[in-house]
Structure 1
Amino acid sequence: MATTLTPAGKEQGSPPLATVTRKPRGRNPMTAHPGLWLFPIPALLLYVAFFVIPTIQGVVYAVTDWDGFSPTAQFVGLDNFVKVFTGDDLFRNALANNIKFMLVVVILQTAFSLALAVFLTKNSKSSIALRSLYFFPTILSSVSVAFVWKFVYDPNFGLINSILGAVGLDRFQGAFLGNDNQAIYWVALTQVWFHVGQMMIIYVAGLQQIPQELYEAAEIDGAGRWQQFRHVTWPMTAPATAIVMAYTTVQSFKAFDLILGLGGNPPKGSLDILSTRIYAGFANSQFGYSAAESLVFMALIAAITWVQRRAVQTLQPDA
C-alpha cells in the first residue's frame, strides 16, 4: 500500500509531533511582589506611634509620681496600684457606677437590638426605612445626644415630666438625673437609645446568614415561633452576640462625653465612672497615678470581654 508523504517528509494520517512550549521565565504569579510589603508600613507606623509607644510610656509613668510637668519623676514601684485597689474610695465609687452602667447597657442594648433585628430582617421597603430610622441616632455626636436628653430629663420643663403631667401621672414625675440612686441608670437608658440601632445592624447581618432550611425543618417538627427562636435563631446568632456584647462593653466604659454632657464637668459622685475619674486625675496633674488607673482600666475591660466571649461560646451549636 502506498503512502503519501507531506512536503516535510511525514506520512499523511500520522499523529502530529508534540509541540514543546517553554514557559516564559518570570515571577511566579502566586508569589507576592516585594513592593506589596510597603503598603502596611504607614498603618504600622501609626499603630506604633499612637498605641505601642503610649502604652509603654503609660507603664513607665504608672510606677512613678510624675506630675506631667517636671523633667524628672520619682520611682514609687507598685504604690500607685496598691492605692488604686485599697485606698481610693473615689476610684471604687467610679468602678461601682461603671459596673451598674455596663450591666444595664449590655443587657438592654443586646435585647432590644436583637428584637428589632428579628422584626426587621426582611429587606422590604418598610423594614429598610425603619432600620434607617433606628440607626439615625448613631450618627449624632455624643454631646448633641447629651444635650437633647438633658432637656428630656429636666425636672421643670422636661419632656418626660410634661407628658406624665399631661396624662395625670404626676406622682411619677421626678428629678431623674438629680436622684443619686437612679441617675446612672437614666444615663444608661440614654446610651441604649444612642447605640441600639448600630447593634441592630450587626444582628440583621447575622440573622440573614441563617439558612432558611433550619426554620423549615423546625416547623415540620412542630416547633412554634418561640421554640424556633430559642433553638435556631439564638444559637445561630452567637457570633453576632459576641461582637455586640464586646463592643457594647467597651462603649460602656468609654461613655466619657455622654457623662460629662449630662452630669457636668466634673460630674457628681453618682455619675462618676472610670473614664471621668481618670480624666480628673490627669487634670489635677496626677499623671503617674492616673496612668496606673488607666492600666487597671484596660485590664478590667479585657477581663470582662474575655468572660463574655467564653460565655457566648457556650451558646454556639458546636459548643
Structure 2
Amino acid sequence: MSRRRQSRARRKEELVLLLFTVPALGLYIFFFVIPALQSVQYSVTDWNGYSPTFEYVGLRNFTRALTNDSLFTNALTNNLKFWLLVVVFQTLFALVLALLLFRNTRGSALLRGVFFFPTILSSVSVAYIWKFVYDPNFGIGNELLGQFGLSSAFLGNDRTAIYWVAVTQVWFHAGQMMTIFVAGLQSVPAEMVEAAAVDGANRWQTFWSVTWPMIAPSTTIVMAYTTIQSFKAFDIILGLAGNPPKRSMDILSTRIYTTFANFEYGYAAAQAILFVIVIVALNFAVRRLVSYSQPSA
C-alpha cells in the first residue's frame, strides 16, 4: 500500500513539474513553431505581404532562387566565401589564444578579458569602428599599410570587400570562441598530458594525440556557432555597406531582408527556408569534418 502511495505521489509530482513547462512551451509554439510553419506555407505562394488573397505556386519560388535569380546566387556565393574565411581563421585564432591563455594566472585572466571585450560591443558599434578603419581617405588601415608602402581600397574594392568584412567578424567574435576553447582545455586531465610527456611525446604530438581529441566537442560547438554567426551577420553588413548593400557585400540575410522590403513575401519565405537548409547542411559537414580529423586509435 505504501508503495502505491509513493508511486501516486511521484506521478503527481512529475505532473506538477510538467505543468511548469506549459507556459514556456506555449510561448515557444506561438512565437516560433507557428511562424515557422506559416513560412513554409507562404514559401509556396505568391503572397505580397498585405493582400488578403494569394495563389499557390508550388516550388516556383525555390526554382527561381536557385536557377533564375542572380542576386540570390550572388548573395549565396558571397556568404559561402565569408563563412569559409570566418570559420577557418576565427577557429584557429581562438584556439591559439586559448592555448596561450588557458592557465588561470593573473596575466592570462587579464588578457582573456581584453580579447573578450569586443564581444560585449553592439554589432552596429563594431561596424562603425571598422568602417572608420577601412576609410580610404583618413582610416587607420591605410595609415598602417602606408608604413610598408602599401594601400588598399578595402570595402571599395568589389573583389575583396567581403574578405575585409570577414576580418571584422573574426575580430568581433574570436574572443568569445576563445572562452569555449579555454573551458575545453581546462577540462583536459593533467595526468594524460604528463603521461604523454613521460612517454617521450613532444608538444605537437601531445596536442594531436591527447589535447585535440579531448577538445573535439568544444571545436564542434565553436565551428557550429561560427557558421550560424557567419550567416546572421546582417547588422555588420548593413553597418559597413549601408542599406541595401552593394552586390559585393550582399549575403543571404541581407538579400532576404531586401526581398521582404520589396513586398515579395512568398519569395522571401522560400529564400529563408533555403537559408536554413544551407546552415543545417554546413553544420552537419562541419561536425563530420571534426570527427574525421580525430587521430585514429
* TM band (smaller chain): over 0.9
Aligned to 1:163: 144
Aligned to 2:230: 252
Query: Are 2:39 and 1:58 equivalent residues in the alignment?
Result: yes
**Displacement after TM superposition at 1:75 (Å):** 1.2
Separation in structure 1 between the aligned mates of residue 165 and residue 3 of structure 2, nearest angstrom: 68
Separation in structure 2 between the aligned mates of residue 220 and residue 30 of structure 1, nearest angstrom: 53
Separation in structure 2 between the aligned mates of residue 314 and residue 181 of structure 1, nearest angstrom: 33
Aligned to 1:204: 182
Separation in structure 2 between the aligned mates of residue 25 and residue 179 of structure 1, nearest angstrom: 76
Aligned to 1:121: 102
- Structure 2 SS opposite 1:156: coil
Q: Aligned pairs, how many? A: 295
Distance 1:317 1:44, change over 3 A: farther
Contact 2:208 2:295 in 1 (8 A): no
Q: Work out which of the residue numbers 245, 249, 256 in structure 2 matches 1:271.
A: 249
Query: Are 2:232 and 1:231 equivalent residues in the alignment?
Result: no
- Structure 1 SS opposite 2:23: helix
Separation in structure 1 between the aligned mates of residue 244 and residue 268 of structure 2, nearest angstrom: 16
Aligned to 1:182: 160
Aligned to 1:72: 53
Separation in structure 2 between the aligned mates of residue 266 and residue 24 of structure 1, nearest angstrom: 68
Aligned to 1:37: 18
Contact 1:238 1:315 in 2 (8 A): no
**Displacement after TM superposition at 1:314 (Å):** 2.6
The unaligned stretches of length 5 or more in structure 1 are 1-21
Query: Per-residue CA shift, 1:111-154, capped at 9, x if unaligned?
Result: 01111111111111111111111111111110000000000010
Contact 2:209 2:295 in 1 (8 A): no
Separation in structure 2 between the aligned mates of residue 256 and residue 235 of structure 1, nearest angstrom: 34
Separation in structure 2 between the aligned mates of residue 299 and residue 36 of structure 1, nearest angstrom: 35
Deviates more, 1:220-229 or 1:56-65: 220-229
The unaligned stretches of length 5 or more in structure 2 are none
Separation in structure 2 between the aligned mates of residue 222 and residue 256 of structure 1, nearest angstrom: 49
**Displacement after TM superposition at 1:38 (Å):** 1.6
Aligned to 1:81: 62
Query: Per-residue CA shift, 1:146-204, capped at 9, x if unaligned?
Result: 00000001000001112333x3x23x211100011110000001000000011001001
Percent of pairs with identical residues = 60
Aligned to 1:106: 87
Aligned to 1:14: none
- TM-score, normalization: structure 2? 0.95
Query: Per-residue CA shift, 1:230-262, capped at 9, x if unaligned?
Result: 221112111100000000000000000000000
Separation in structure 1 between the aligned mates of residue 207 and residue 27 of structure 2, nearest angstrom: 44
Q: Work out which of the residue numbers 105, 120, 123 in structure 2 matches 1:139.
A: 120
Separation in structure 1 between the aligned mates of residue 209 and residue 84 of structure 2, nearest angstrom: 25
